[in-house]
Structure 1
Amino acid sequence: MTRPDFPGIGGAAKIAVNANVPASTLVFEELRARIVSLKLPPGTILNRADLAEAFGVSQSPIREAIQRLEEIDLVMSYRQSRTEVTRINRERLRYESFLRCGMECEVVDRLCRAPGADLTKAMGYLKMQEVLAGDTDQIELFRELDENFHEELFAAAGYEAIHRLVIAQSSQMARLRTLDLPRGDKMHSVVEGHRAVIDCITAGDRQGAADAMRVHLSGTIGRLDDIMQANDGYFT
Protein backbone atom coordinates (compact mmCIF):
# COMPACT_ATOMS: atom_id res chain seq x y z
CA MET A 1 0.00 0.00 0.00
CA THR A 2 1.21 3.48 -0.83
CA ARG A 3 0.55 6.95 0.44
CA PRO A 4 -0.12 9.65 -2.17
CA ASP A 5 1.97 12.70 -2.95
CA PHE A 6 -0.34 15.71 -2.91
CA PRO A 7 1.82 18.74 -3.87
CA GLY A 8 0.09 20.90 -6.44
CA ILE A 9 -3.22 19.11 -6.06
CA GLY A 10 -4.94 22.46 -5.68
CA GLY A 11 -5.76 24.47 -2.59
CA ALA A 12 -7.71 27.49 -1.52
CA ALA A 13 -6.76 29.47 -4.65
CA LYS A 14 -8.19 26.87 -6.96
CA ILE A 15 -11.44 26.62 -4.99
CA ALA A 16 -11.73 30.43 -4.87
CA VAL A 17 -11.50 30.57 -8.68
CA ASN A 18 -14.39 28.13 -8.82
CA ALA A 19 -16.47 29.94 -6.24
CA ASN A 20 -19.78 28.82 -7.77
CA VAL A 21 -18.85 25.14 -7.46
CA PRO A 22 -19.08 23.41 -4.06
CA ALA A 23 -15.71 22.61 -2.52
CA SER A 24 -16.73 18.96 -2.18
CA THR A 25 -17.33 18.77 -5.95
CA LEU A 26 -13.89 20.22 -6.70
CA VAL A 27 -12.28 17.72 -4.37
CA PHE A 28 -14.31 14.84 -5.82
CA GLU A 29 -13.46 15.73 -9.41
CA GLU A 30 -9.75 16.12 -8.69
CA LEU A 31 -9.51 12.88 -6.74
CA ARG A 32 -11.54 10.96 -9.32
CA ALA A 33 -9.28 12.27 -12.10
CA ARG A 34 -6.18 11.17 -10.21
CA ILE A 35 -7.65 7.75 -9.44
CA VAL A 36 -8.82 6.97 -12.98
CA SER A 37 -5.48 8.15 -14.40
CA LEU A 38 -3.79 5.84 -11.84
CA LYS A 39 -1.81 8.69 -10.33
CA LEU A 40 -3.49 7.34 -7.19
CA PRO A 41 -3.30 3.58 -7.92
CA PRO A 42 -5.23 0.81 -6.18
CA GLY A 43 -4.05 0.39 -2.61
CA THR A 44 -3.25 4.08 -2.10
CA ILE A 45 -4.19 5.28 1.40
CA LEU A 46 -6.03 8.61 1.50
CA ASN A 47 -5.61 10.50 4.74
CA ARG A 48 -8.45 12.99 5.22
CA ALA A 49 -6.36 15.43 7.23
CA ASP A 50 -3.67 15.45 4.52
CA LEU A 51 -6.30 15.98 1.84
CA ALA A 52 -7.89 18.85 3.76
CA GLU A 53 -4.51 20.54 4.07
CA ALA A 54 -3.66 19.96 0.39
CA PHE A 55 -6.96 21.41 -0.83
CA GLY A 56 -7.08 24.17 1.76
CA VAL A 57 -10.53 23.15 2.99
CA SER A 58 -12.10 21.71 6.12
CA GLN A 59 -12.65 17.98 6.46
CA SER A 60 -16.37 18.35 5.70
CA PRO A 61 -15.99 18.66 1.89
CA ILE A 62 -13.31 15.96 2.02
CA ARG A 63 -15.78 13.64 3.74
CA GLU A 64 -18.50 14.43 1.18
CA ALA A 65 -16.12 13.84 -1.74
CA ILE A 66 -15.00 10.51 -0.33
CA GLN A 67 -18.62 9.43 0.09
CA ARG A 68 -19.21 10.14 -3.61
CA LEU A 69 -16.08 8.19 -4.53
CA GLU A 70 -17.36 5.28 -2.46
CA GLU A 71 -20.66 5.33 -4.38
CA ILE A 72 -18.80 4.64 -7.63
CA ASP A 73 -16.49 2.06 -6.03
CA LEU A 74 -13.27 4.03 -6.37
CA VAL A 75 -12.45 4.07 -2.65
CA MET A 76 -13.36 2.02 0.40
CA SER A 77 -13.44 3.50 3.90
CA TYR A 78 -12.82 1.33 6.93
CA ARG A 79 -14.44 2.54 10.14
CA GLN A 80 -11.98 4.41 12.38
CA SER A 81 -9.14 3.16 10.24
CA ARG A 82 -8.38 4.36 6.71
CA THR A 83 -9.69 5.17 3.25
CA GLU A 84 -8.12 3.16 0.46
CA VAL A 85 -8.31 3.34 -3.33
CA THR A 86 -10.05 0.15 -4.48
CA ARG A 87 -8.88 -2.38 -6.98
CA ILE A 88 -10.64 -2.45 -10.34
CA ASN A 89 -13.84 -4.49 -10.12
CA ARG A 90 -14.16 -6.91 -13.04
CA GLU A 91 -17.92 -7.39 -12.68
CA ARG A 92 -18.54 -3.64 -12.62
CA LEU A 93 -16.40 -3.29 -15.74
CA ARG A 94 -18.91 -5.34 -17.72
CA TYR A 95 -21.82 -3.28 -16.39
CA GLU A 96 -20.09 -0.01 -17.26
CA SER A 97 -19.09 -1.24 -20.72
CA PHE A 98 -22.70 -2.24 -21.46
CA LEU A 99 -24.02 1.11 -20.26
CA ARG A 100 -21.57 3.25 -22.21
CA CYS A 101 -21.90 1.23 -25.42
CA GLY A 102 -25.69 1.44 -25.30
CA MET A 103 -25.72 5.19 -24.71
CA GLU A 104 -23.08 6.05 -27.29
CA CYS A 105 -24.61 3.87 -30.00
CA GLU A 106 -27.91 5.67 -29.42
CA VAL A 107 -26.15 9.05 -29.65
CA VAL A 108 -24.56 8.31 -33.03
CA ASP A 109 -27.88 6.98 -34.28
CA ARG A 110 -29.52 10.29 -33.32
CA LEU A 111 -26.73 12.23 -35.04
CA CYS A 112 -27.25 10.26 -38.25
CA ARG A 113 -30.89 11.36 -38.18
CA ALA A 114 -29.93 15.01 -37.60
CA PRO A 115 -27.91 16.05 -40.66
CA GLY A 116 -27.60 19.58 -39.32
CA ALA A 117 -25.77 18.49 -36.17
CA ASP A 118 -22.57 20.44 -35.58
CA LEU A 119 -19.62 18.03 -35.50
CA THR A 120 -16.98 20.74 -35.89
CA LYS A 121 -15.51 20.37 -32.40
CA ALA A 122 -15.54 16.56 -32.48
CA MET A 123 -13.71 16.60 -35.82
CA GLY A 124 -11.24 19.12 -34.43
CA TYR A 125 -10.41 16.84 -31.51
CA LEU A 126 -10.01 13.95 -33.96
CA LYS A 127 -7.51 15.92 -36.05
CA MET A 128 -5.45 16.70 -32.94
CA GLN A 129 -5.48 13.03 -31.99
CA GLU A 130 -4.26 12.11 -35.45
CA VAL A 131 -1.22 14.32 -34.89
CA LEU A 132 -0.47 12.73 -31.50
CA ALA A 133 -1.14 9.09 -32.40
CA GLY A 134 1.89 6.93 -31.61
CA ASP A 135 3.59 9.55 -29.43
CA THR A 136 3.30 7.97 -26.00
CA ASP A 137 4.96 11.03 -24.43
CA GLN A 138 1.69 12.84 -25.16
CA ILE A 139 -0.52 10.14 -23.67
CA GLU A 140 -2.18 12.46 -21.13
CA LEU A 141 -3.19 14.97 -23.79
CA PHE A 142 -4.32 12.17 -26.08
CA ARG A 143 -6.52 10.73 -23.32
CA GLU A 144 -8.04 14.16 -22.68
CA LEU A 145 -8.80 14.60 -26.38
CA ASP A 146 -10.38 11.15 -26.43
CA GLU A 147 -12.87 12.11 -23.72
CA ASN A 148 -13.47 15.48 -25.39
CA PHE A 149 -14.34 13.75 -28.66
CA HIS A 150 -17.00 11.58 -27.06
CA GLU A 151 -18.34 14.49 -25.01
CA GLU A 152 -18.81 16.55 -28.17
CA LEU A 153 -20.82 13.77 -29.81
CA PHE A 154 -23.23 13.89 -26.88
CA ALA A 155 -23.27 17.70 -27.04
CA ALA A 156 -24.00 17.68 -30.78
CA ALA A 157 -26.95 15.38 -30.13
CA GLY A 158 -28.16 17.61 -27.28
CA TYR A 159 -27.42 15.13 -24.50
CA GLU A 160 -24.66 16.75 -22.44
CA ALA A 161 -26.37 15.73 -19.20
CA ILE A 162 -26.44 12.10 -20.32
CA HIS A 163 -22.71 12.26 -21.01
CA ARG A 164 -22.08 13.44 -17.44
CA LEU A 165 -24.14 10.51 -16.18
CA VAL A 166 -22.22 8.03 -18.33
CA ILE A 167 -18.87 9.39 -17.17
CA ALA A 168 -19.97 9.22 -13.53
CA GLN A 169 -20.88 5.56 -14.01
CA SER A 170 -17.76 4.58 -15.99
CA SER A 171 -14.91 5.04 -13.52
CA GLN A 172 -13.75 1.41 -13.60
CA MET A 173 -13.64 1.46 -17.40
CA ALA A 174 -11.69 4.72 -17.25
CA ARG A 175 -9.03 3.00 -15.16
CA LEU A 176 -8.96 0.04 -17.53
CA ARG A 177 -8.43 2.36 -20.50
CA THR A 178 -5.59 4.05 -18.64
CA LEU A 179 -3.86 0.68 -18.36
CA ASP A 180 -4.52 -0.15 -22.02
CA LEU A 181 -3.76 3.14 -23.72
CA PRO A 182 0.04 3.52 -23.37
CA ARG A 183 0.60 1.48 -26.53
CA GLY A 184 1.38 3.13 -29.86
CA ASP A 185 -0.91 0.77 -31.75
CA LYS A 186 -3.76 1.46 -29.30
CA MET A 187 -3.52 5.17 -29.98
CA HIS A 188 -3.80 4.55 -33.72
CA SER A 189 -6.71 2.20 -33.09
CA VAL A 190 -8.55 4.92 -31.15
CA VAL A 191 -8.06 7.38 -34.00
CA GLU A 192 -9.28 4.86 -36.57
CA GLY A 193 -12.35 4.16 -34.45
CA HIS A 194 -13.18 7.84 -34.14
CA ARG A 195 -12.69 8.38 -37.87
CA ALA A 196 -14.99 5.47 -38.72
CA VAL A 197 -17.70 6.84 -36.46
CA ILE A 198 -17.48 10.35 -37.95
CA ASP A 199 -17.47 9.03 -41.52
CA CYS A 200 -20.64 7.00 -40.90
CA ILE A 201 -22.40 9.90 -39.18
CA THR A 202 -21.64 12.32 -42.02
CA ALA A 203 -22.88 9.69 -44.50
CA GLY A 204 -26.09 9.25 -42.52
CA ASP A 205 -25.32 5.54 -42.12
CA ARG A 206 -27.16 4.70 -38.90
CA GLN A 207 -26.24 1.00 -38.77
CA GLY A 208 -22.65 1.68 -39.77
CA ALA A 209 -22.26 4.39 -37.12
CA ALA A 210 -23.63 2.15 -34.38
CA ASP A 211 -21.45 -0.76 -35.50
CA ALA A 212 -18.36 1.47 -35.67
CA MET A 213 -19.00 2.83 -32.19
CA ARG A 214 -19.60 -0.66 -30.81
CA VAL A 215 -16.33 -1.94 -32.29
CA HIS A 216 -14.48 1.15 -31.06
CA LEU A 217 -15.72 0.78 -27.48
CA SER A 218 -15.19 -2.98 -27.32
CA GLY A 219 -11.45 -2.93 -27.91
CA THR A 220 -10.27 -2.40 -24.35
CA ILE A 221 -12.83 -4.68 -22.68
CA GLY A 222 -11.94 -7.31 -25.26
CA ARG A 223 -8.36 -7.23 -23.97
CA LEU A 224 -9.41 -7.50 -20.34
CA ASP A 225 -7.76 -10.86 -19.65
CA ASP A 226 -4.41 -9.68 -21.09
CA ILE A 227 -4.57 -6.40 -19.19
CA MET A 228 -5.39 -8.20 -15.95
CA GLN A 229 -2.51 -10.62 -16.44
CA ALA A 230 -0.08 -7.74 -16.96
CA ASN A 231 -1.46 -5.76 -13.97
CA ASP A 232 -2.64 -8.46 -11.59
CA GLY A 233 -2.36 -6.35 -8.44
CA TYR A 234 -4.78 -3.76 -9.78
CA PHE A 235 -7.84 -6.03 -10.03
CA THR A 236 -10.19 -7.77 -7.62
Structure 2
Amino acid sequence: MSATETAINKQETQVPLADAVFQRILDAIYDGRLPPGSIINEVSMAQEFGVSRGPVREAVRRLQGIQLVTREPYIKARVMSLSAESALELFQMRMALEGMACNLATQRMPDDEIDALLNEMEQDRQQRVSGARQPRVFDFHERIVRACGNQRIIAALCGDLYHLLRIYRRHSGTVLERKDDAYAEHWQIVRAIKSRDSGLAESLMRSHIERAANHLVRHLPDTVRPT
Protein backbone atom coordinates (compact mmCIF):
# COMPACT_ATOMS: atom_id res chain seq x y z
CA MET A 1 0.00 0.00 0.00
CA SER A 2 1.32 3.46 -0.95
CA ALA A 3 1.95 6.25 1.56
CA THR A 4 -0.97 8.20 0.09
CA GLU A 5 -3.34 5.27 0.43
CA THR A 6 -2.19 4.72 4.01
CA ALA A 7 -2.84 8.37 4.85
CA ILE A 8 -6.29 8.26 3.25
CA ASN A 9 -7.19 5.10 5.15
CA LYS A 10 -5.99 6.66 8.39
CA GLN A 11 -8.13 9.74 7.74
CA GLU A 12 -11.09 7.55 6.86
CA THR A 13 -11.28 6.36 10.47
CA GLN A 14 -11.63 9.96 11.63
CA VAL A 15 -13.66 11.74 8.92
CA PRO A 16 -15.93 10.68 6.04
CA LEU A 17 -13.93 9.35 3.08
CA ALA A 18 -15.14 12.07 0.71
CA ASP A 19 -13.93 14.71 3.18
CA ALA A 20 -10.48 13.10 3.31
CA VAL A 21 -10.33 13.03 -0.50
CA PHE A 22 -11.54 16.65 -0.63
CA GLN A 23 -8.69 17.69 1.65
CA ARG A 24 -6.15 15.77 -0.43
CA ILE A 25 -7.25 17.50 -3.62
CA LEU A 26 -7.23 20.86 -1.82
CA ASP A 27 -3.65 20.24 -0.70
CA ALA A 28 -2.66 19.42 -4.29
CA ILE A 29 -4.20 22.69 -5.48
CA TYR A 30 -2.56 24.69 -2.68
CA ASP A 31 0.94 23.35 -3.28
CA GLY A 32 0.75 23.61 -7.06
CA ARG A 33 0.62 19.92 -7.96
CA LEU A 34 -2.75 20.76 -9.53
CA PRO A 35 -2.09 24.20 -11.07
CA PRO A 36 -4.79 26.53 -12.40
CA GLY A 37 -6.42 25.11 -15.51
CA SER A 38 -5.25 21.53 -14.99
CA ILE A 39 -7.64 18.65 -15.63
CA ILE A 40 -9.13 16.74 -12.70
CA ASN A 41 -8.91 13.08 -13.72
CA GLU A 42 -11.28 11.29 -11.36
CA VAL A 43 -10.17 7.81 -12.45
CA SER A 44 -6.46 8.41 -11.85
CA MET A 45 -7.19 10.18 -8.55
CA ALA A 46 -9.29 7.26 -7.34
CA GLN A 47 -6.40 4.94 -8.20
CA GLU A 48 -3.86 7.22 -6.49
CA PHE A 49 -5.92 7.45 -3.31
CA GLY A 50 -6.91 3.79 -3.34
CA VAL A 51 -10.64 4.56 -3.29
CA SER A 52 -13.62 4.16 -5.61
CA ARG A 53 -14.67 6.99 -7.91
CA GLY A 54 -17.66 7.87 -5.69
CA PRO A 55 -15.76 9.77 -2.98
CA VAL A 56 -13.63 11.50 -5.63
CA ARG A 57 -16.72 12.55 -7.58
CA GLU A 58 -18.34 13.86 -4.40
CA ALA A 59 -15.19 15.82 -3.47
CA VAL A 60 -15.01 17.32 -6.97
CA ARG A 61 -18.67 18.40 -6.75
CA ARG A 62 -17.91 20.16 -3.49
CA LEU A 63 -14.90 21.86 -5.08
CA GLN A 64 -17.20 23.03 -7.88
CA GLY A 65 -19.56 24.44 -5.27
CA ILE A 66 -16.85 26.70 -3.87
CA GLN A 67 -15.57 27.61 -7.35
CA LEU A 68 -12.19 25.91 -7.05
CA VAL A 69 -13.11 23.54 -9.85
CA THR A 70 -15.07 24.27 -13.03
CA ARG A 71 -16.88 21.83 -15.28
CA GLU A 72 -18.78 22.48 -18.49
CA PRO A 73 -21.16 19.95 -20.09
CA TYR A 74 -19.26 17.10 -21.78
CA ILE A 75 -15.92 18.59 -20.67
CA LYS A 76 -13.68 17.25 -17.91
CA ALA A 77 -13.43 19.16 -14.65
CA ARG A 78 -10.53 21.60 -14.33
CA VAL A 79 -8.95 23.54 -11.49
CA MET A 80 -10.29 27.06 -11.75
CA SER A 81 -8.14 29.55 -13.62
CA LEU A 82 -7.17 32.74 -11.82
CA SER A 83 -8.68 35.83 -13.41
CA ALA A 84 -8.05 39.46 -12.55
CA GLU A 85 -11.77 40.23 -12.52
CA SER A 86 -12.59 37.45 -10.05
CA ALA A 87 -9.61 38.36 -7.86
CA LEU A 88 -10.65 42.01 -7.71
CA GLU A 89 -14.20 41.13 -6.70
CA LEU A 90 -12.99 38.85 -3.92
CA PHE A 91 -10.50 41.37 -2.58
CA GLN A 92 -13.10 44.14 -2.62
CA MET A 93 -15.33 41.94 -0.50
CA ARG A 94 -12.39 41.25 1.82
CA MET A 95 -11.71 44.95 2.22
CA ALA A 96 -15.23 45.52 3.52
CA LEU A 97 -15.59 42.44 5.73
CA GLU A 98 -12.04 42.14 7.05
CA GLY A 99 -11.87 45.87 7.68
CA MET A 100 -14.92 45.61 9.93
CA ALA A 101 -13.59 42.37 11.46
CA CYS A 102 -10.37 44.17 12.37
CA ASN A 103 -12.36 47.05 13.90
CA LEU A 104 -14.37 44.62 16.05
CA ALA A 105 -11.31 42.53 16.98
CA THR A 106 -9.59 45.68 18.23
CA GLN A 107 -12.49 46.25 20.60
CA ARG A 108 -12.97 42.64 21.69
CA MET A 109 -9.65 40.78 21.72
CA PRO A 110 -8.41 40.20 25.29
CA ASP A 111 -4.91 41.46 26.05
CA ASP A 112 -3.54 37.95 26.48
CA GLU A 113 -4.90 36.95 23.06
CA ILE A 114 -3.21 39.95 21.45
CA ASP A 115 0.07 39.03 23.18
CA ALA A 116 -0.31 35.43 21.97
CA LEU A 117 -0.83 36.71 18.41
CA LEU A 118 2.31 38.84 18.65
CA ASN A 119 4.29 35.84 19.91
CA GLU A 120 3.06 33.67 17.03
CA MET A 121 3.96 36.38 14.53
CA GLU A 122 7.46 36.57 15.97
CA GLN A 123 7.84 32.78 15.80
CA ASP A 124 6.64 32.88 12.21
CA ARG A 125 9.17 35.65 11.43
CA GLN A 126 12.03 33.66 12.94
CA GLN A 127 11.07 30.58 10.93
CA ARG A 128 10.99 32.64 7.75
CA VAL A 129 14.40 34.19 8.45
CA SER A 130 15.99 30.86 9.31
CA GLY A 131 14.39 29.12 6.35
CA ALA A 132 13.14 26.38 8.65
CA ARG A 133 10.28 24.29 7.40
CA GLN A 134 7.12 25.42 9.16
CA PRO A 135 5.14 22.60 10.81
CA ARG A 136 1.94 24.58 10.33
CA VAL A 137 0.67 27.54 8.38
CA PHE A 138 0.21 30.67 10.47
CA ASP A 139 -2.81 32.48 9.03
CA PHE A 140 -2.79 36.06 10.28
CA HIS A 141 -6.02 37.00 8.53
CA GLU A 142 -7.98 34.04 9.85
CA ARG A 143 -6.87 34.86 13.39
CA ILE A 144 -8.12 38.44 13.10
CA VAL A 145 -11.43 37.38 11.56
CA ARG A 146 -12.13 34.76 14.23
CA ALA A 147 -11.28 37.27 16.94
CA CYS A 148 -13.95 39.72 15.74
CA GLY A 149 -16.76 37.74 17.39
CA ASN A 150 -19.23 38.40 14.55
CA GLN A 151 -20.41 34.95 13.51
CA ARG A 152 -21.75 36.10 10.13
CA ILE A 153 -18.41 37.63 9.16
CA ILE A 154 -16.60 34.53 10.42
CA ALA A 155 -18.89 32.24 8.42
CA ALA A 156 -18.46 34.37 5.28
CA LEU A 157 -14.66 34.47 5.42
CA CYS A 158 -13.74 31.22 7.18
CA GLY A 159 -16.24 28.79 5.60
CA ASP A 160 -15.90 27.19 2.18
CA LEU A 161 -15.09 30.59 0.64
CA TYR A 162 -11.89 30.57 2.70
CA HIS A 163 -10.36 28.00 0.33
CA LEU A 164 -10.89 30.24 -2.69
CA LEU A 165 -9.59 33.28 -0.83
CA ARG A 166 -6.51 31.33 0.20
CA ILE A 167 -5.68 30.45 -3.41
CA TYR A 168 -5.76 34.10 -4.45
CA ARG A 169 -3.89 35.22 -1.34
CA ARG A 170 -1.22 32.63 -2.03
CA HIS A 171 -0.67 34.05 -5.50
CA SER A 172 -0.70 37.65 -4.22
CA GLY A 173 2.29 36.84 -1.99
CA THR A 174 4.47 34.92 -4.43
CA VAL A 175 6.77 37.90 -5.14
CA LEU A 176 9.34 38.37 -2.39
CA GLU A 177 8.89 42.14 -2.19
CA ARG A 178 5.17 41.75 -1.54
CA LYS A 179 5.82 39.11 1.13
CA ASP A 180 8.10 41.50 2.99
CA ASP A 181 5.70 44.42 2.62
CA ALA A 182 2.72 42.30 3.71
CA TYR A 183 4.58 41.13 6.78
CA ALA A 184 5.44 44.72 7.81
CA GLU A 185 1.79 45.72 7.27
CA HIS A 186 0.65 42.87 9.53
CA TRP A 187 2.80 44.26 12.35
CA GLN A 188 1.35 47.75 11.86
CA ILE A 189 -2.17 46.34 12.10
CA VAL A 190 -1.44 44.45 15.32
CA ARG A 191 0.20 47.50 16.87
CA ALA A 192 -3.01 49.44 16.17
CA ILE A 193 -5.03 46.60 17.72
CA LYS A 194 -2.82 46.56 20.79
CA SER A 195 -3.26 50.32 21.21
CA ARG A 196 -7.05 49.80 20.89
CA ASP A 197 -7.33 52.22 17.97
CA SER A 198 -10.15 50.48 16.10
CA GLY A 199 -10.45 53.13 13.40
CA LEU A 200 -6.75 52.98 12.57
CA ALA A 201 -6.74 49.16 12.66
CA GLU A 202 -9.66 49.03 10.21
CA SER A 203 -8.02 51.58 7.90
CA LEU A 204 -4.71 49.71 7.93
CA MET A 205 -6.40 46.40 7.17
CA ARG A 206 -8.37 47.85 4.27
CA SER A 207 -5.22 49.49 2.86
CA HIS A 208 -3.28 46.24 3.30
CA ILE A 209 -5.88 44.24 1.34
CA GLU A 210 -6.12 46.94 -1.34
CA ARG A 211 -2.35 46.82 -1.89
CA ALA A 212 -2.49 43.02 -2.14
CA ALA A 213 -5.33 43.28 -4.66
CA ASN A 214 -3.48 45.82 -6.80
CA HIS A 215 -0.35 43.68 -6.71
CA LEU A 216 -2.22 40.54 -7.70
CA VAL A 217 -4.19 42.17 -10.52
CA ARG A 218 -0.96 43.58 -11.98
CA HIS A 219 0.54 40.09 -12.08
CA LEU A 220 -2.53 38.29 -13.41
CA PRO A 221 -3.56 38.42 -17.06
CA ASP A 222 -7.27 38.17 -17.76
CA THR A 223 -6.97 34.41 -17.31
CA VAL A 224 -4.06 32.32 -16.06
CA ARG A 225 -3.68 28.86 -17.51
CA PRO A 226 -0.73 26.47 -17.49
CA THR A 227 1.56 26.62 -20.50
TM-score (norm 2): 0.80
Q: Which residue of 2 aligns with 1:174?
A: 166
Say whether residues 1:26 and 2:17 are aligned partners: no
User: Higher relative contact order by CA 8 Å / sep ≥ 6: 1 or 2?
Assistant: 2
**How far off its partner does 1:129 sit?**
3.1
Out of 140, 143, 150, which is 1:152 matched to?
143
Q: Do 1:193 and 1:216's aligned partners in 2 also have CA atoms closer than 8 Å?
A: yes
The superposition leaves residues 117-143 of structure 1 with CA deviations (integer Å, 9 ceiling, x where unpaired) of 5224422331123224567x66x8499
**d(CA) in 2 for partners of 1:164 and 1:207?**
23
* Coordinate RMSD, CA, aligned: 3.1
Q: Which aligned runs of 4 or more in structure 1 are off by greater than 6 angstroms?
A: none
Say whether residues 1:48 and 2:39 are aligned partners: no
The superposition leaves residues 29-78 of structure 1 with CA deviations (integer Å, 9 ceiling, x where unpaired) of 23223224433112211211111122222211111111111122222234
Single out whichever of 126-135 and 50-59 deviates more from structure 2. 126-135
Q: Which residue of 1 aligns with 2:114?
A: 119
Q: Which residue of 2 aligns with 1:130?
A: 125
Q: Which residue of 2 aligns with 1:57?
A: 51
Show the 5 A alignment for 1:1-236: 10-17=4-11, 19-114=13-108, 116=110, 118-133=113-128, 141=134, 144-145=137-138, 147=139, 149-158=140-149, 162-163=153-154, 165-167=156-158, 168-229=160-221, 233-234=224-225
**How far off its partner does 1:11 sit?**
2.6
**How far off its partner does 1:212 sit?**
1.1
Structure 2 CA distance for partners of 1:159 and 1:56, relative to 1, 3 Å: farther
Q: Do 1:36 and 1:171's aligned partners in 2 also have CA atoms closer than 8 Å?
A: no
Structure 2 stretches lacking a partner, 5+ long: none
Structure 2 CA distance for partners of 1:125 and 1:21, relative to 1, 3 Å: same
Q: Calculate percent identity across the aligned residue pairs.
A: 21
Counterpart amino acid of 2:198? R
Report how many residues are paired. 223
**How far off its partner does 1:211 sit?**
0.9
Structure 2 CA distance for partners of 1:76 and 1:156, relative to 1, 3 Å: closer
Structure 1 stretches lacking a partner, 5+ long: 1-6
Q: Do 1:38 and 1:175's aligned partners in 2 also have CA atoms closer than 8 Å?
A: no
